[in-house]
């Protein structure tokens, strides 16, 4: 396929569920002319508590499904899948480029920190895999990284409890240890697509002096740069979005509306089986 024919294909976006809609939103803002094909593996979410081998297997199945529909690149919006499956996905989809959220998030955090101390909050799987500390060390080996798994943040965001005393108390319990002591972090990397939904209570707990970094916008910028470099960007027009999920279009629509920033109707979501 020529680059000009490939440029007409949609961008595939894959996530374990609806959290990746925050990344889709940033992608649409950065690349308004592009078509998007989003697949949330809602039947098997969450990935954050699963082993690396299981997450890799699920991610490969989802990527194959998107590739089968014809995509010009794959954005892995899920931090957990990005942290363990990018090499396998890139090998499976080649020559279609695969872009994860870890590297762009780490780049943004490295640019943001002044003290060289970065805190990373993520799922159990992402923390256990150590992808963010490795990516930050590759950028600047002097950066100190403290990690904390925050699984309840995922459940709170999915429940639509995005602020209030309960969420703030949970945030305090998870986050205060990262910002207390002689060497507190000055940058907090939100290493899970669910966490931007809780940004208001997180900000209250960490204070104004801490820079919050999420991967959505930097991943969108990295995607635009990659497509531009390959001559695969669409020039003009307003792109479309197709949403697919492996389970429960009703729940996808209800919970997804929290993350996408606009209402989603169950009829907008195509059910697919992996």
Q: Which of 33, 138, 139, 155 binds a second copy (CB under 8 A)?
A: 155
| Integer angstrom CA distances of residue 84 from 50, 119, 148, 199, 272 | 11, 20, 18, 26, 24
Q: Which stretch binds a second copy (CB under 8 A): 25-33, 190-198, 218-226, 245-253?
A: 245-253
Locus of tokens 């497509």: 227
| Integer angstrom CA distances of residue 68 from 16, 93, 198 | 18, 10, 35
Is residue 103 near a second copy by the rule CB under 8 A? no
The pair of structure tokens assigned to 7 is: 């440029």
Residue 179: CA atoms inside 13 Å, Cβ hemisphere, count? 23
Q: Which of 33, 139, 169, 274 binds a second copy (CB under 8 A)?
A: 169
Q: Which of 133, 151, 184, 191 binds a second copy (CB under 8 A)?
A: 151
Evaluated on CA atoms 203, 75, 233, 35, the torsion sign reads: negative
Is residue 156 near a second copy by the rule CB under 8 A? yes
Q: Which stretch binds a second copy (CB under 8 A): 106-114, 152-160, 187-195, 259-267?
A: 152-160
Residues 176-235 that bind a second copy (CB under 8 A): none
Name residue 242's beta-bridge partners.
Answer: 37
List residues with catalytic annotation: 78, 192
Is residue 162 near a second copy by the rule CB under 8 A? no
Is residue 49 near a second copy by the rule CB under 8 A? yes
Residues touching a second copy, count (CB under 8 A): 25
CB of 129 to a second copy, least distance (A): 13
Q: Which stretch binds a second copy (CB under 8 A): 7-15, 110-118, 156-164, 178-186?
A: 156-164
Q: Which of 67, 152, 212, 221 binds a second copy (CB under 8 A)?
A: 152
Is residue 247 near a second copy by the rule CB under 8 A? yes
Q: Which of 25, 28, 50, 72 binds a second copy (CB under 8 A)?
A: 50
Residues in touch with a second copy (CB under 8 A): 42-45, 49-51, 54, 124, 151-152, 154-156, 158-159, 161, 165-166, 169-170, 173, 247-248, 251
């Amino acid at each position: 396929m020529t680059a000009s024919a490939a440029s007409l294909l949609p961008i595939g976006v894959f996530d374990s569920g609806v959290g990746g809609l925050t990344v889709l939103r940033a992608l649409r803002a950065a690349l308004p002319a592009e078509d998007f094909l989003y697949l949330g593996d809602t039947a098997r979410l969450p990935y954050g508590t699963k082993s690396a081998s299981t997450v890799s297997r699920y991610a490969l199945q989802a990527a194959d499904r998107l590739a089968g529909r014809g995509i010009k690149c794959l954005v892995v919006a899920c931090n957990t899948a990005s942290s363990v499956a990018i090499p396998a996905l890139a090998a499976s989809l080649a020559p279609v480029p695969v872009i994860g959220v870890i590297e762009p998030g780490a780049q943004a955090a490295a640019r943001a920190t002044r003290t060289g101390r970065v805190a990373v909050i993520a799922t159990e799987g992402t923390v256990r895999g150590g992808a963010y500390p490795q990516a930050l060390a590759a950028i600047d080996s002097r950066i100190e990284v403290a990690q904390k798994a925050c699984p309840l943040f995922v459940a709170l965001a999915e429940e639509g409890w995005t602020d209030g005393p309960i969420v703030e108390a949970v945030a305090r319990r998870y986050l205060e240890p990262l910002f207390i002591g002689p060497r507190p972090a000055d940058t907090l990397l939100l290493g899970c697509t669910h966490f931007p939904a809780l940004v208001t209570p997180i900000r209250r707990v960490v204070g104004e002096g801490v820079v919050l970094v999420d991967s959505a916008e930097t991943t969108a910028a990295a995607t635009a740069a990659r497509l531009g470099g390959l001559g695969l960007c669409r020039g003009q027009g307003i792109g479309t979005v197709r949403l697919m999920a492996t389970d429960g279009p009703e729940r996808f629509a209800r919970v997804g509306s929290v993350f996408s920033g606009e209402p989603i109707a169950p009829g907008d979501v195509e059910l697919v089986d992996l």
